[in-house]
Amino acid sequence: MKTIEIPNLRIRAYSEHSEVYQFAEYLVDDYLATKERVRDRNQYLLTARKLIASIWLVEGDLFKFTTKDEYFSKKKRKQVWMTKKVLKLFRHLKSIEPKLINVVVKGVPPDVSKSGRGLNTVYSRAFIFTQRLKSLKEADILPDPELEVIELKDEDKKPLPIPSEEREQEWFIRSTEVLNKHFEFLRNSNLTYSDGSRIAPLHYFYQRKFKLDFLSGGRWYSDFNLWSKKKRLGILLNNESALSIDISQLHPSLIMRLYHHQSDEPIGLMRGELKDAYDMPKYDYLPRVVHKKLINTMFNSITQESALKSIMTAHLDVNEDGEYVCNTYKGKQKRKGEKIFKDNMKGAREYMSYFKFIHPYYSEAICSGIGIKLQHMDSRLVTNIIDVATTINLPILPVHDEFVFPEKRLEDIEELLRRVFQITYGALGQIGTLNCKLSDKNGDEKEISLNLESSSH
């Protein structure tokens, strides 16, 4: 029997719908009536609209949420939206009669849990909650207006303040403008599901996310990134079917350019004519998604020990659309799917050794920590691609190095990718070819090779 995945509630949504406004006023006035002094009513109203819209957007009626005080303190806050006002209003929402939300399963503290990991309380929306929002539609759900489009977090994924001097840098100003222009352009485009219903703007609100500093990471993220490929390609853009173009092996290709000044791995003695960096003949019983995950883990890791510890936790799973997914885990995280290396560290070592043997041109990059640099390089490319696409009125939705776009604009996006790759990386971007994979909603795929050495640019 399939396990039901209950989502964690994130306070990222907002709505200007009249029913949300009315509900928020009711909640805030009821809460403030219990207080002797009334302060910040407008800020409470804004928080209430975000809380109500976020609960309404949850798929199904069940969701998980923590009300642990320390997570909502400034020092230990785990998310930017974990403010005291959110906590106060959520607790008050639980106390209102008749019940608007109900406790389904109480949370379990870490010191009581068998796994040593705490479990958040599971709640359900009551029928009366949704009845207050009868005419609200997904298209009315907007991103939290207080969310910043550029985000910086520490090693533990806790938000860090962005220094004012960094906000004045040219790259920061330009990135902010590109992100905001892209979002407004998509809002003014007609992005719908296959049945014609509008997609919530929150789902295509992108942020550039950095870790520790602004030289690490910087990739574009949105809810859309988390959708399955089948769901992503099932949308319509201005009433046109969607296609996706995926830059094949972007990170391995960048490694080859940086270390060897060529675009592809030379044909290998042990591999025959296969050039795919994720080709592992000895392990051909595993889906490509596994090799992509594990090999990128080797590039991303700073030490061999950390790479092996991560690889040995790899599990192969299947998502709701029947697509393979591969995940690695830290600590006592709950594992999903089938473990790939039953013999743990021994299997991980054999896998790494075989990769070094079959792909010697990548050996220098393994466990070098180059993954952070590569993410920053690909985030620059995506930022430039989005900037040009918006300028030429081409709606595209990035998922790292994949781009979903209207099917009639294939020639435009091919030329766009070629030119922007050349401009972004200079001499390194004018070596060899840029290999891409084109996919449609039927699951059909086609290889495309873009010549980067053409003098036509």
In degrees, to the nearest 5, what angle opens at C-alpha 210 toward C-alphas 205 and 211?
A: 140
| Percent with pLDDT over 70 in the chain | 93
Q: So what's the pLDDT on residue 109?
A: 63
Please give the structure tokens belonging to residue 430.
């004018």
Window from 22-26, 111-115, 311-315 with minimum mean pLDDT: 111-115
Residue 13 pLDDT exceeds 60: yes
In degrees, to the nearest 5, what angle opens at C-alpha 161 toward C-alphas 148 and 142?
A: 15
Q: So what's the pLDDT on residue 456?
A: 46
Q: So what's the pLDDT on residue 108?
A: 67
Distance, in Å, from the CA atom of 121 to the CA atom of 20, rounded to the nearest integer, reads 25
CA nearest to 402, candidates 243, 276, 277, 267: 243
Q: So what's the pLDDT on residue 274?
A: 64
Q: So what's the pLDDT on residue 352?
A: 96
Sheet arrangement for strand 338-339: 324-327, 315-318, 338-339
Out of 72-76, 109-113, 319-323, 382-386, the most confident range is 382-386
The pLDDT-based confidence of 1 (bands split at 50, 70, 90) is very low
Window from 23-27, 75-79, 254-258, 293-297 with minimum mean pLDDT: 75-79
Residue 75 pLDDT exceeds 80: no
The pLDDT-based confidence of 330 (bands split at 50, 70, 90) is confident
On average, the pLDDT of the chain sits at 90
CA nearest to 142, candidates 194, 224, 85, 203: 203
The pLDDT-based confidence of 268 (bands split at 50, 70, 90) is low
CB 168 within 8 A of CB 208: no
Contacts within 8 Å (CB) and 24+ apart, 55-61: 55/9, 55/101, 55/125, 55/129, 56/13, 56/15, 56/20, 56/125, 56/129, 56/130, 56/133, 56/136, 56/141, 57/13, 57/138, 57/141, 57/200, 57/202, 58/7, 58/9, 58/125, 59/7, 61/124, 61/125
Beta-strand pair 150-153/207-211: parallel
Out of 197-201, 267-271, 366-370, the most confident range is 197-201
Please give the structure tokens belonging to residue 121.
């309380």
Task: Spell out the residues 6+ positions from residue 267 whose beta carbon is closer than 8 angstroms to its own.
Answer: 273, 274, 275
CA nearest to 300, candidates 346, 252, 351: 252
Please give the structure tokens belonging to residue 409.
């604009």
CB 301 within 8 A of CB 367: yes
Residue 89 pLDDT exceeds 60: yes
DSSP for 133-179, please give it. Answer: TTT--GGGEEE-TT--SEEEE-TTS-B-PPPHHHHTSHHHHHHHHHH
The distance from CA 110 to its chain's CA centroid, rounded to whole angstroms, is 28
Q: How many residues does the chain have?
A: 457
Residue 259 pLDDT exceeds 90: yes
Q: So what's the pLDDT on residue 119?
A: 78
pLDDT digits (tens, 9 = 90+) for 389-440: 999 999 999 999 999 999 999 999 999 999 999 999 999 999 999 999 999 9
Q: How many CB atoms lie within 10 A of CB 289?
A: 14
Residue 309 pLDDT exceeds 90: yes
pTM, to two decimals: 0.86
DSSP for 386-406, please give it. Answer: HHHHHHTT---EEETTEEEEE
Distance, in Å, from the CA atom of 56 to the CA atom of 268, rounded to the nearest integer, reads 55
The pLDDT-based confidence of 270 (bands split at 50, 70, 90) is low
CA nearest to 238, candidates 394, 353, 134: 394
| Percent with pLDDT over 90 in the chain | 75
pLDDT digits (tens, 9 = 90+) for 125-158: 999 999 999 999 999 999 999 999 999 988 878 8
Residue 44 pLDDT exceeds 80: yes
Q: How many CB atoms lie within 10 A of CB 274?
A: 13
Q: How many CB atoms lie within 10 A of CB 68?
A: 16
The distance from CA 11 to its chain's CA centroid, rounded to whole angstroms, is 16
pLDDT digits (tens, 9 = 90+) for 440-453: 999 899 999 999 98
Residue 110 pLDDT exceeds 70: no
Cα end-to-end span (Å), the chain: 56
Mean pLDDT score, 51-80: 85
- Residue in this structure with the two tokens 């599901």, named with its chain if needed: 193
Mean pLDDT score, 56-62: 91
Phi, psi angle pair for 242, to nearest 5°: -95, 145
Q: So what's the pLDDT on residue 414?
A: 96
CB 453 within 8 A of CB 261: no
Q: How many CB atoms lie within 10 A of CB 13?
A: 27
CB 20 within 8 A of CB 136: yes
